[in-house]
A and B are shown apart, each in its own frame.
Chain A
Amino acid sequence: MGIVGLWKIIEPTATEIPLECLEGKKLAIDVSIWIYQAQLAYPSDQPFPHLRLLVNRLSKLLFYKIRPVFVFDGPQVPVLKRQVLESRRQKRKNDDDILTNPKKMGKLKEIAAGGLDEDALSKAIKEVISPSKKVVLNDVYKDIPSTSTNLDLPSAHQNDQLVYGEIESSGEDSDDSDVIIETPMKKEEPDQKMFPSRKMEIRNLVEKREVMRNSRLRPDMIPQDSKSFSNFQMQRLLQRGRLNAQIEQLAKSNTTSSGAFSSDKINVTGPDGTSHVLKYAHSDEIQEVQPELKREFDSLYQPPLEMTLDVFNVEYGGKKLSREVTPDDVREEIVERIEERLIDKTERGYQSKSGMLEAIARKRIRQHYGTETIEDKEEERRRRREEEQEDELIEVSDDEMDLQKVLFESASKALDEKMASLKKHRPDSDDEEWDPQRNDIPSTSSAAQRNLTDDYIHLDYDDDNERTPELYRDLQEFLTNAGIPWIEAPGEAEAQCVELEKLGLVDGVVSDDSDVWAFGVKHVYRHMFAKNRRVQRYGEQTAANRDNCKLFCLQREDYISIAILAGGDYCPGLVKVGAIGALELVSEFVEKRNDQSETIEVIENRILRLLEKAGQLFLSSPDEKRFTSRKAMMLKRHVTEANERELIENVCSNKDAVHAYLHPTVDDSSEKLRWRQMNIPLIRQILHQRLQWPDRTQHHEEKNSFNAFEKWNTFLQAGGRSQMRLDRFFAQKLDSALELKWSKKVVEALEKIGKRTKGVSLDEEKLVEQKEDDEIKVLEIKKKERKPSEKKKKAAPGRGRGRGRGRGRGGAKISKTTEKKELNLSEDSSSNDSFDDFCK
């Protein structure tokens, strides 16, 4: 996943370039997540999906005469990384789980108990349903769930999403067509093969209930006065409840008899399963009452409620798990839903390996455990629900259970109403409430479904790690046959890519992983394989991005500091500190550095010193006067509010992570890379065999690939000389800078870092003390102010205090800008940074 939120800071320095510009360049391709991408991108019956992905992407590169070097992950991944991934997963799960999250559970109880006034109710509901990662809800609001297979993210959020979805090379044929796109679920489609007799029975009952449910009440059937109305309603519900109980009974015997409870499968569900099951129970209850209530309300008081509680279901990753469906249906639905999600996922792309692994795990569940486990779940879900009810009502007879249900339903009715009014009154409430930009961890947009299958991930994660080398062998074998160089890194592929660049063996790195920055990359090409996006080039200044580049002064050590503070693969980071927050912290403590290349040790010490200072700030007693800069104090308050002392100590003394970033395990052999011409008949044979391309008709992928391969061969035949294009020399009209600007906060921090690293002192307090000596420095500040910062604001943390004598015009200018700065601070509090609650 890389360093949380770092791309957003770096992105404005990029230019978008056409692929033609890359002709002849040697690029290191980070393939560390391709295997996972491949498994998600293609239907499960695809043989060698990883090879297919590789062939398609390789074709794209060769078509543009890019010389690729493929870099594979190796086994020596730092232990730190595994730990961090593990803890992240755990955290995510807990946050989103209503029932393990005491706050949410409490709210839920409050809602159920009723007696909340309108505002409180809506607030409570929101708190319960909104997952800690707010994107999910956002999505849901943007796109009413049930039928949609493509939950588009709000555009602002897309910045964070790396679209890996690209499967095709040059041809833009949509591979989505290969993936089964699910139709909205069908309610009645039981699998008759398995237990026909019971099945039928259940089905009849379900049908009966369905009829009951669907029979529209005529207005004259509805009692006029409120009391008899509620009695009437109660009657109907009780009736249906009995029906449900019957169905349930049957379904239970069904699943037990079919052996779904065999021990290993239960193990698979695992202890965590319980919490999910409980959740289902909730959504189930709510769901069950919902359609009818909805209808009734529709006819009586309300305009059509389009939103209703579908929201809930999507939230929890479940489909409409109402009880009119039999276990098999549920299974099918869940499978459908999972597939849908997978499609979403592949379209939307992945940022992290862990995310991918989870999704793959999900896919695998469908394949392997599909039938039993989900039945299992369904079953256990029921059992759980009963237990839950038992927990609340000590002795529960059947009738009382129904009563209990009714109580629940009244709560959900309130919910229902509330949802409707929320929707009605504040159609854009999602924008106000859940700002996607606040979210620095984008890959969690589907945190909810993750819950569904978290149990399996542990199994499959290891499983995948074992299988990966084997899959790598396939790819490596193919690349060798194709004459394309590849390297298996001893440790992480990203680090090896950067090492190749350092050794001068390649011109740049193709990766979407922001870790490359912490490893000290110079030229990065991002979104190389993204559909509908242009390649972003980082690390080269052109006319288009000159202004942004001038301001940008971050270096490897800053990226590492940000990683440690905000969180990266090797370190969990501080709570509520995103990349921008970390950047501000860095700007407070960064030291002067020399422009000349410094030894790694110097850099390492500097990072450690920075972290130490940050730690001192956070842990200092409130009245300590050492850190008097206002900004620093605010940062301190923010951090200490959200973080345990212990965590701060750990983060700020994380020598291991710094070391891991600075000394990655890499292969530093500088053996020249060679590209050979492709033996096209051989390759064709291999691919036909492996990918099972049809023999007669030429597959479109085959055609595209071999076009590219032939082009590549001609290119190599001609001595590998590449024809340059004039666009490179003349007004580069094909390049374009991204229309991106940094937020004020980032600009401020960057300016500060820029000055500090050049040894220009910024602290007014110090300036006051230093007097004379400062005159030169102030002049320097002045000089710099003329350039990029003229229209922007000053970084000097200010109180408009006088600056001593001898400042001349420079001093006057600075104090003027400090005024501006104060204004900006108040503006900032409403800005969208991940760090924004910090000014409150």
Chain B
Amino acid sequence: MFEAKLANSGLLKKIVESIKDLVTDAPFDCSETAMSLQAMDSSHVALVSLKLEVGLFDTYRCDRTINLGLSLANMSKALKCANNDDTCMLKYEENEGDSIIFTFADPKRDKTQDVTVKMMDIDSEHLGIPEQDYAVVCEMPAAEFQKTCKDLATFSDSLNITATKAGIVFTGRGDIGSSVVTYSPSSNTDDESEAVTLEVKEPVNVNFSIKYMNQFTKATALSDRVRLSLCNDVPVVVEYPIEENGFLRFYLAPKIDDEENME
């Protein structure tokens, strides 16, 4: 059996909302130490990797490793029933059929609500994600990254990221014009959470679909900070840490630039 209780439903809500447009089906792998999820979008361009460690939960019990396949749309419907402050208990009993029970409890009002969601058979093949030494790791406020992506999206459908020791530049260039956002590594900011930190082993210059980036930034609600790990010709990792006990990562395959421009 599997049983896990979150102190507030809001967290799960935010997670589901930020990924449900990207992936439709979510095979949750529940083990003794964590609840995790890995899924690619239908075009195999982006990958969502979620890890919720035991520390995030008020209670957590998982007798053996199980795989719970859920439709994210259905999960989102279930979670809509909950207030953000409600506690959320996930329960799965092997001998009780193929459903998961979400129990939302409002401690102030002594109210509980049980929502049962049918599970799905999801063919989940775990992808091996190779270890990668990234040439550039940049941390910045999540909101800042979100705004940048939004701004560039109005000009272009691809986002160019260039990073050198001097700074990281986000460029969106399109027919109507262009938008270039430059961050120099900030050493003078007092507020730690507002700082943009940049580690550069090698300069990079990569292009990504901005549409996907905008999808990812929906997770901004989850975390104050975002970390971008970049390398030339390799998928970028956009990582939102979750309360130091987990993360939501997005992998996005780059766009290959053609060396000569078309007429």
Contacts and interface: CB of A to CB of B under 8 A. Distances in A.
Contacts of B254: 724
Given A718-B157, A725-B45, A730 B257 contact: no
B234 interface: yes
A482 to B, nearest CB: 14
A733 B129 CA distance: 12
A115 interface: no
Contact of A722 (B46, B125, B129, B256): B256
Interface string B12-48: 0000000000000000000000000000100111110
Given A729-B235, A730-B130, A731-B127, A723 B253 contact: yes
Nearest to A26: B258
B47 A726 contact: yes
A725 B253 contact: yes
B262 A676 contact: yes
Contacts of B255: 721-724
Nearest to A24: B256
Contacts of B125: 733
B173 to A, nearest CB: 9
Given A718-B157, A719-B262, A725 B127 contact: no
Where chain B touches its partner, the secondary structure class is: loop
Interface string B137-164: 0000000000000000000011000000
Nearest to B175: A717
Contacts of B209: 723
B111 to A, nearest CB: 43
Where chain A touches its partner, the secondary structure class is: loop
B169 to A, nearest CB: 18
Given A719-B261, A723-B45, A729 B158 contact: no
Nearest to B160: A721
Interface in A719-741: 719-731, 733
A249 to B, nearest CB: 74
B46 A726 contact: yes
Given A730-B127, A730-B129, A731-B127, A675 B253 contact: no
Interface in A643-692: 672, 674-677
B256 A674 contact: no
B204 to A, nearest CB: 15
Contact of B258 (A720, A725, A730, A731): A720
A731 B157 CA distance: 28
A17 interface: no
B47 A730 contact: yes
Contacts of B46: 726
A723 B44 CA distance: 10
A676 B209 CA distance: 22
B107 interface: no
A24 B256 CA distance: 8
A719 B128 contact: no
B191 interface: no
A726 B235 contact: yes
A234 interface: no
A716 interface: yes
Given A724-B253, A726-B253, A729-B130, A719 B47 contact: no
A177 B88 CA distance: 59
A721 B235 contact: no
Contacts of A723: 43, 45, 209, 253, 255
Contacts of A720: 258, 261-262
Contacts of A716: 262
Contacts of A729: 130, 234-235, 253
B133 interface: no
Contacts of A675: 262
Contacts of A730: 47, 127-130, 251
Interface string B108-127: 00000000000000000101
Contacts of A24: 256, 258
A504 to B, nearest CB: 11
B44 A727 contact: yes
Interface in B219-237: 234-235
Contacts of A725: 43-45, 253
B190 interface: no
Given A675-B262, A726-B45, A726-B46, A721 B40 contact: no
A727 B129 CA distance: 10
Nearest to B46: A726
B96 interface: no
Contacts of A728: 253
A231 B125 CA distance: 77
Given A725-B43, A726-B46, A674 B263 contact: yes
Contacts of B40: 726
Nearest to A673: B260
Contacts of B253: 723-726, 728-729
Contacts of B71: none
A24 B127 CA distance: 24
B196 to A, nearest CB: 27
Contacts of A722: 255-256, 258
B207 interface: yes
A722 B259 CA distance: 12
Interface string B41-73: 001111100000000000000000000000000
A724 B158 CA distance: 13
B13 to A, nearest CB: 27
Contact of A677 (B45, B235, B262): B262
22 contacts: A674-B262, A674-B263, A719-B261, A720-B262, A721-B255, A721-B258, A722-B255, A722-B258, A723-B43, A723-B255, A724-B253, A724-B254, A726-B235, A726-B251, A726-B253, A729-B130, A729-B253, A730-B47, A730-B127, A730-B128, A730-B130, A733-B127
Interface of A: 20, 24, 672, 674-677, 716, 718-731, 733
Given A724-B255, A726-B46, 4 more contacts: A676-B262, A719-B261, A722-B256, A725-B44
9 pairs of A and B residues whose beta carbons are closest in the complex: A731-B128, A720-B258, A724-B253, A721-B255, A730-B127, A725-B44, A726-B253, A716-B262, A722-B256
